[in-house]
Structure 1
Amino acid sequence: MKVRSLTKDKVNIITLGCSKNLVDSETLGGQLRANEIAVVHESGKLDHNIVVVNTCGFIDKAKEESVNTILDQVELKKKGKLDKVYVTGCLSERYRNQLEAEIPEVDAWFGTMELPLMLKQFNADYKSELLGERMLSTPKHYAYMKISEGCNRTCSFCAIPLMRGGHVSKPMDALVDEAKALVQKGVKEVMLIAQELTYYGLDLYKKRTLPDLLHKLADVEGLEWIRLHYAYPSKFPLEIIDAIKDRPNICNYLDMPLQHASNNMLKAMKRQITREEMEDLVGAIRHKLPEICLRTTLIAGYPGETRDDVEELKTFLEKMRFDRVGIFTYSHEEGTSAYDVVDDVPADEKQARAQEIMEVQQEISYEKNQEKVGKTLKVLIDKKEAGRYLGRTEFDSVEVDNEVVIQSAKKLEIGQFYPVTITKAYDYDLEGVIAQ
């Protein structure tokens, strides 16, 4: 018998993929702690004997990373450094049978909705009274908050409904309680996430109730920033913008993935919107709230994409002048309706197109950042690195957007807000000093 097995279990959770996965890992951690099981998140110390790998199955690169991570943990188990390896998340949900056959050393596989089943492996009970209670793995001043699960949209390229199921909203009162609990832990900023924010409430309240939820969250004392991620553009409820405008603690920020701008591509992608309708929507949003920061995400190299489609997308970006843009290369995913179409754009060409499109956005981002020089903005300090402080404005989300680099002889508190005068601007970052 190994000496290790005589000691108390300690679990290390490794999270791959998106912020929605991170929330799932934090929920698992909260449940384990409530059952008095020691748990850490992405520890490099190797002082644990059990690992849970929370996988991503979204695109090829993410799937490869997930498989490699599982294999790394299995190797540690073979060397006697781990007792158990469990796997959960989207990759496990989607390819469980295949993976079980290929990696038999994994002790158990779980889907995206099998938390109570997973807890049984630890002889732990699922505590429903802990709804919203999590072991935060982010810095304590910000947290992600998942307001719904799954998606009812039928975008041709997306496998998420296969892994996460249909749309299910969390009750509004439960989300308000969760926000209050987060504030008590020191959280000042919550980022609302879902596969599709604008669908919120349709299943529970028979209407879109994201604006109502926003007002209720804005009433939570101590919550200084509320940020919106992943809003679908088709039939977008403009009441969301009214709520952002009305409440000072809702960031002037909206993440709205558009995916493309060519009508040919939008139709092929089953996006239920045209380029003209997207232009009208962006115009209506900016008319209501001129200072809003709009972030979008695009896909390069979708099957059948032509040079004309790429040029149309570049023209669209030049006209719309989004504040923030991210881009993915198309990944051919089995089970999606696009999988029946030939993936006819070579990988290197996809990458070249993505680079070409981002070069257009880089210039726009530089010009927009230059406009901020000389202005004093409210900045949340995220960390100190190499003698400099790194923070964000309300127009920037964690990890995906700009940072403000601050040189300060005076000590700044991590997780606090400061007025910062912008002194320099680059393509994707700003520099500033504490306002006198």
Structure 2
Amino acid sequence: MKKKVNVVTMGCSKNLVDSELFLNQLQHNGYDVVHDSNDTDARIVAVNTCGFILDAKEESVEAIMNFVDAKNKGMVDKIFVFGCLSARYRDELVAEIPEVDGFYGKFEVKKMITDLKANYYMSLSNERYLTTPSHYAFLKISEGCDRTCSYCAIPRMTGKHISKPMEDIIEEATLLAKKGVKELLIIAQDLSFYGMDRYKKNMLDELLNKLADIPGIEWIKLHYAYPAGFPHKILPVMRERKNIARYLDIALQHSSNRMLKIMRRNITREKTIELLNRIRKEVPGIHIRTTMLVGHPGETEEDFEDLKSFVREMRFERLGVFPYSFEEDTYAGENYKDDVPQEVKEARAAELMEIQQEIAAGITAEKVGTEMKVLIDRKDEDFYVGRTEFDSPEVDGEVYIDSQGKELEVGTFCQVEITHTNDYDLYGITK
């Protein structure tokens, strides 16, 4: 009887890619593998943890403890823990959760595979066991981060920025396309820095051109660019290559010059506006996704008013808001007092999202009467559900499609006439 492993992934899509690479290695060693399964007879569990902010850390610990409880009841034989939380707090976790059979850092998957009495195959290092629907996949192009943002502990967990060799990225993307992947979601902690370490110059534009040449790839979307040092050379590539979506995820975090300096973002409000205007001018119709951080130490009502004004002025198509979370081993944690009360943080986050909700409603309403290309993700009871080129899975809105009695195939594209909208989602009929 084959051994079965249940790999559970917490946190971001970058972790998901790590889990998929791990799952593929196990499968080629003869293991049965399942992902994020709550209903499995797997006797071995591997939890890929997140250590980014308090909520994510607590969620990871809760998942581990649930499996410890299952082990104590005789339902699980072995528990392995890897990823960011394990890298950041290994000594504490070893002391506090002795029931776990092994803790591994983010870059110790080879050792974990060896401890599972399996072989690590270098020839499979760019192959993945897809856990997403087969028509889209995340593609990680680098590890780590060289930035020094005050609130962020990620460089402590992942180390310096390391660009993945371009030939490996192209090989991985080509293999995904051969599996039927049509949409590549390009991810990194900092897309803006790709190539600087390995090639001594920014190579993101060249990488995008090569990815756009891969047969079968119809959409490429960019996630997690950094505004300071933004690679402007990618803008004509985005404009001219038809399969690079007019979509950009660029985390701005704040607008107040005072807060940008405190947060060590290395950019000003004026330079940010200049950048956004240039992006929109060079890539007409682009939809920009960003995130804002409220309640950072030192943020005053005046700073928050500046941020509200900025959001109203810039009219972001997509926006998320996070209240500041105190993190040890960060510049803010070591040098600033967490002086904004939690209730104020949460109230500011809610107020900013109310502003964004009104903006988003206006932007979606403008799409009524237009015809849009939609990638079908799934079929619900009464609708097919998909996304436009302006929407990434899980974080953005969706399109609810009345197929008018026609059978549509999940993972294919169709043309949809938008008939009505709500704040974030679109509704339409097939053409």
Alpha-carbon distance in 1 for matches of 2:170, 2:47 = 30
Does residue 109 of structure 2 align to residue 115 of structure 1?
yes
**2:239–2:284 Cα contact (<8 Å) kept:** no
Aligned pair count reads 429
Aligned-partner Cα distance in 2 for 1:18–1:150: 14
Residue 352 (structure 1) aligned to one of 347, 351, 372: 347
Structure 1: gaps of 5 or more residues: 1-6
Query: SS of 2:253's equivalent?
Result: coil
Q: Does 1:343 align with 2:355?
A: no
Task: Give ranges in structure 2 of 5+ residues lacking alignment.
Answer: none
* Counterpart check, 1:103 vs 2:108: no
State the AA in 2 paired with 1:57: G
Query: What is residue 412 of structure 2 aligned with on the other side?
Result: 416
The alpha carbon displacement at 1:345 in A equals 1.2
Q: Secondary structure at the match of 2:62?
A: helix
Q: Distance in 1 between matches of 2:306 and 2:5?
A: 50
Q: 1: distance between equivalents of 2:261 and 2:186?
A: 28
Distance 1:433 1:120 in 2: 52
Corresponding residue number in structure 2 for 1:129: 123
2:403 equivalent to 1:403: no
CA distance in 2, matches of 1:305, 1:412: 50
Matches within 5 A, 1:278-357: 278-340=272-334, 341-357=336-352
Cα RMSD of the aligned pairs, angstroms, is 0.8
Asked whether the 8 Å contact 2:2–2:30 carries over to 1, the reply is: no
Whether 1:94 aligns to 2:85 is no
Q: Does residue 257 of structure 1 match 2:251?
A: yes
Task: Return the match for 2:385 from 378, 390, 396.
Answer: 390
CA distance in 2, matches of 1:31, 1:265: 45
What is the CA deviation profile of residues 346-400 of structure 1, one whole-angstrom value per residue up to 9, with x for unaligned ones? Answer: 2121111000011111111011111100000000000112321110000011110
Deviation string 1:151-171 (CA, Å, 9 cap, x unpaired) is 011111001111111101111
Rounded Cα–Cα distance in structure 2 between residues aligned with 1:46 and 1:296: 38
Equivalent residue, structure 2, for 1:206:
200
AA paired with 2:167? D
SS of equivalent to 2:89:
helix
Letter in 2 for 1:354: A
In structure 1, C-alpha distance between the alignment counterparts of 2:267 and 2:297, rounded to whole Å: 19
Amino acid at match of 1:272: N
TM-score by length of 1: 0.97
Q: CA deviation at 1:46?
A: 2.5
How far does residue 37 in structure 1 lie from its aligned partner after superposition? 1.4
Of 384-393 and 139-148, the range deviating more from structure 2: 384-393
**One-letter identity of the residue aligned with 1:339:** G
1: CA distance, partners of 2:31 / 2:341:
48
* Counterpart check, 1:54 vs 2:38: no
Task: Give the structure 2 partner of residue 223 of structure 1.
Answer: 217
Does the CA-based 8 Å contact 2:145-2:189 persist in structure 1? yes
- Pairwise CA distance, 1:290: 1.9
Partner SS state of residue 253, structure 1: strand
Q: State the secondary structure of the residue aligned to 2:198.
A: helix
Identify the residue that residue 359 of structure 2 maps to in structure 1: 364
User: Matched residues in 2 for 1:334 and 1:403: separation?
Assistant: 37
CA contact (8 A) 2:141 2:194 kept: yes
Aligned pairs for 1:56-205 (under 5 A) are 56-205=50-199
By how many angstroms is 1:44 displaced? 2.2
Aligned partners of 2:164 and 2:125: how far apart in 1? 10
Cα distance, 1:9 vs structure 2: 1.6
Q: CA deviation at 1:319?
A: 0.8
Deviations 1:249-271 (A, max 9, x none): 00000000000111111101100
Report what 1:20 is aligned to: 14
Give the partner amino acid of 1:418.
C
CA-CA distance at 1:303 after TM superposition: 0.6
The equivalent residue for 1:9 is 3
| 3-state SS of 1:97 partner | helix
> Is it true that 1:434 corresponds to 2:430 in the alignment?
yes
User: What residue identity is the alignment partner of 2:37?
Assistant: S
Residue of structure 1 in register with 2:421 after alignment: 425
